[in-house]
Structure 1
C-alpha cells in the first residue's frame, strides 16, 4: 500500500507540474513579439489591417489572454493541440509522425551512454591510478566540454565525407528497396553518427559519476567484509558494490533526460534527422505557434514521464528507497 500511495502522489504532482509548464509555455509565446497573423501576412507578401484582423479572429487571437488560455487548456484536455498553418495539418498528426524517430534516437543514445559509461567507470574504479582511469578522466572532460553540434559536424566530416562509411543525413535511403531487414540495416547505418553525437556528452557524465560512486562503495565496510569472507573480486564488484553504485547514475539519467531531448534538437538539425528536433527548428523559423506549443508539451511530457520512471527504477534497484514519500 505504501508503494501505491507514493506512486499516486508522484503522479498527482507530475500532473500539476505539467499544467504549470503548459501555462508557462503559453504565456511566454503570448508575450513574444508578433503572432500567427503577422507570419501569414509576411508569407502573403503583406496585408492590410482588415485582413490581419480577420486572421486574428480566425485563430482566436482577438480574445483576451485568459480566454485564449482557457480555450488552449480545454483543447489540451481533449488531446487537441491545434492546427499548423505552416504545414496545413493538425499538430497532433505532425508530432505523432515525427515522434518515433526522436524516441528511437534519444533512447538509443541514452542506453548506449549508460551502458558504456558505467562499464568504463567500474573498470577504472578498480584501478584508480591506472592508464584506463586517466583516459576516462580525459575523455569525460573532452566529451563534456565539446558542443554537441561541433561533435556532430566533426563526425560528419570524418566518417561521411572523408571515409564515407556512413550516410550524410536523413533516417533512411528513399531509393533503397527491400524487406524489413534491409530497411532496418539502412536505418541503423543512418543512426550511428547521430547516436554517437548525442551519447558523447552523457557518456562522459555517466563514466565519471559511476567511477566516483564505485570507488566510494568499494571503500565501505560491507565490501571489506565481503572480501574478508573470501569472495572473488568479480563477485564483490558486480554482485554487491555495483547495485549501490548504480543509484546515483540512475538518478542522473532521469535528470539528464530533459537535456537529451533538448540536445536532440541540435543533433537532428545537423544530421537532418526527421524527428521532433527538426520539426521544432522549422516551426520556430516559420513562427508556427501551435506546432511550437505542441512540441513543448510533448517534450515536457517526456521529461516528466522519464523522471517518474527513474523514481520507479530507483525503488526497484535500491531497497532503501522503498516506502519513501
Structure 2
C-alpha cells in the first residue's frame, strides 16, 4: 500500500503544476490590481506606477509565473499587498482557526449522524425512523445561509448565548486558559450550525446501507446460527455499512480544512475561507494564488485519504 501512496503523491506534482499555471493566468486576467484601491484624489499617480513596476506587474506573464513558482517551491509565496505581510504568515494565522473549526465540526457531525443513521436503519418504518428522516429532509431543504442567519439572530442576538463574530475576544492573553476556552466558545455556534446541515447525507447513506444489509445472506446465516441480533448489528451490519461513510471522511476533513467560505463569511470567522473572499475583493493576487494552490492540494489529499481510510475499514479493499 505504501508504494501506491508514494506513487499517488508523485502524481500530485504535475497536477499541482497545471493547477498553479491556470490559477496564475486567471488571477492576472482579473480587472484592476492590488494598488487600484490605494488611489485617492491625493495619491500621486507616479508613486502607484513605481509600485507596479517594483512588483513586476509589467513583466511578461511567463516571467512573473517563473518567479512566483520558484519562490513558492521554497515556501515563499510572496508579500500580501493589502496586509503588507508575508503570505505564508497570513495563511498560517488563519489556518489555525480553520483547522479548529473543521475539527470541531467533523467530530460533531459524526457524533450526531452515525447514531441517528444506525437508529433509523435498525428501526426503519417506525415513528423514530420517520422522525429522523423528517429531520434529514428539513435540514436538506433549508438553505445554509438562512439557517446560519436564524441561528445568529436567535442564539446570538436574542438569547445572547454565543458570540456572533470573531474567533476570540479582544484583550485576552494568548496561552492562558481563558484564551483557549474563549476560542472554543466562539466555535460553538458556527460548528453546530454546520453540523446540523452536514449530517443529512451521512444519515441517509448509513440508513440505506443498514436497511439493505439486513436482507443480505450473511445476516440471515448469522441469525440462523443463533447469534443475537445485537451482535449481528455490531459485528456485521454496522461495519459493512460504514464503508460509504469512510469513503467520504477524507473529503469531509480536507474540504473543511480548505476553508468553509460560506460559513466563515456569514459568521465573520477569521479563517482561510473568509481570507479568500477578502483577497478576491482586494485583488490580492499573491494570497489568491497561494490559497487556491492550498485548496487544490487539500482536494487531492482528500481523495488519497479517503482511499486509505476505506482500505483500513475493510482490509479486502486495496488502493491501486
| Structure 2 partner of 1:299 | 295
Match of 1:35 among 15, 33, 37: 33
Change (3 A) 1:113 1:43: farther
Match of 1:55 among 43, 51, 72: 51
Inter-partner Cα distance in structure 2 for 1:24 and 1:178:
39
Q: Determine whether 1:22 maps to 2:20.
A: yes
Kindly provide the CA deviation profile for residues 78-106 of structure 1, in whole angstroms up to 9, marking residues without a partner as x. 11111011111000000111111101101
SS where residue 311 of structure 1 aligns? Answer: helix
Which one is further off, 106-115 or 180-189?
180-189
Q: In 1, are the aligned partners of 2:21 and 2:65 still within 8 Å (CA)? A: yes
Inter-partner Cα distance in structure 1 for 2:11 and 2:191:
32
Change (3 A) 1:68 1:174: same
SS where residue 83 of structure 1 aligns? Answer: coil
Q: Determine whether 1:10 maps to 2:8.
A: yes
Report how far residue 132 of structure 1 moved: 2.3
Match of 1:159 among 155, 158, 161: 155
Report how far residue 172 of structure 1 moved: 2.0
Change (3 A) 1:315 1:88: same
SS where residue 97 of structure 2 aligns? Answer: helix
* Superposed counterparts of 1:139-218, under 5 Å: 139-175=135-171, 180-218=176-214
Q: In 1, are the aligned partners of 2:98 and 2:256 still within 8 Å (CA)? A: no
Inter-partner Cα distance in structure 1 for 2:44 and 2:179:
47
Query: Number of aligned pairs?
Result: 320
Report how far residue 177 of structure 1 moved: 6.8
| Structure 2 partner of 1:122 | 118
Inter-partner Cα distance in structure 1 for 2:309 and 2:81:
41
| Structure 1 partner of 2:265 | 269
Report how far residue 176 of structure 1 moved: 5.1
Report how far residue 288 of structure 1 moved: 1.3
Inter-partner Cα distance in structure 1 for 2:124 and 2:225:
24
Which one is further off, 253-262 or 79-88?
253-262
Where does structure 2 lack aligned partners over 5 or more consecutive residues? none
Inter-partner Cα distance in structure 1 for 2:257 and 2:41:
34
SS where residue 260 of structure 2 aligns? Answer: helix
Structure richer in helix, relative to its length: 1
Inter-partner Cα distance in structure 2 for 1:27 and 1:238:
53
Inter-partner Cα distance in structure 1 for 2:61 and 2:137:
47
Give the TM-score, by structure 1 length: 0.90
Change (3 A) 1:200 1:74: same
| Structure 2 partner of 1:94 | 90
Inter-partner Cα distance in structure 2 for 1:255 and 1:98:
20
| Structure 1 partner of 2:236 | 240
Q: In 1, are the aligned partners of 2:23 and 2:292 still within 8 Å (CA)? A: yes
Where does structure 1 lack aligned partners over 5 or more consecutive residues? none
